[in-house]
């Protein structure tokens, strides 16, 4: 039931988002200051969501939680790809490539080790995790 509400809420959001986004484009290019404020809104709301969701995570799983959030924050890979990939002076490309390597390592090892640990959590009757 809760899942249903969440999904429908998400669907509504997806429907609204493009409209909101297109409305914002001209304003954003005109004034970079408002852009930052919008990002601050996103940051604040995401922090509240993070605090809410994480505080409900089972204490059993705090170690896998940390490796999972590690992998998730390796989303820095997106920034690293842009820096590495665009046509920039070589030293910038190399800085980007090192950052990309570091993020990729975190993604691969983070997700793999999280899954490896979660597989170990079983109940008595050999039930799956």
State which of positions 48-67 bind another protein (CB under 8 A).
49-51, 53-67
Q: Which is nearer to another protein, 1 or 123 (CB)?
A: 123
Query: How many alpha carbons lie under 13 Å from residue 18 in its C-beta half-sphere?
Result: 3
Task: Confirm or reject binding of residue 8 to another protein (CB under 8 A).
Answer: no
Q: Helices marked H in the chain — which ranges?
A: 2-30, 32-55, 62-73, 77-85, 90-120
Query: Binding to another protein (CB under 8 A): which residues in 60-119?
Result: 60-89, 91-119
On whether the CB atoms of residues 63 and 121 are closer than 8 A, the answer is no
Query: Binding to another protein (CB under 8 A): which residues in 11-40?
Result: 14, 17-18, 21, 32-33, 35-36, 39
């Amino acid at each position: 039931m809760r899942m249903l509400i969440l999904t429908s809420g998400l669907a509504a959001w997806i429907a609204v988002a493009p409209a909101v986004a297109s409305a914002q484009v001209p304003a954003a290019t005109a004034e970079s200051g408002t852009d930052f404020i919008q990002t601050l809104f996103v940051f604040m709301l995401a922090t509240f969501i993070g605090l809410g969701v994480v505080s409900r995570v089972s204490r059993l799983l705090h170690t896998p939680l940390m490796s999972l959030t590690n992998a998730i924050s390796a989303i820095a890979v997106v920034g690293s790809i842009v820096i590495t990939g665009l046509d920039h002076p070589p030293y910038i490309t190399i800085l980007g490539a090192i950052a990309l390597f570091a993020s990729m390592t975190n993604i691969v090892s983070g997700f793999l080790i999280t899954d490896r640990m979660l597989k170990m959590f079983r109940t008595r009757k050999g039930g799956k995790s």
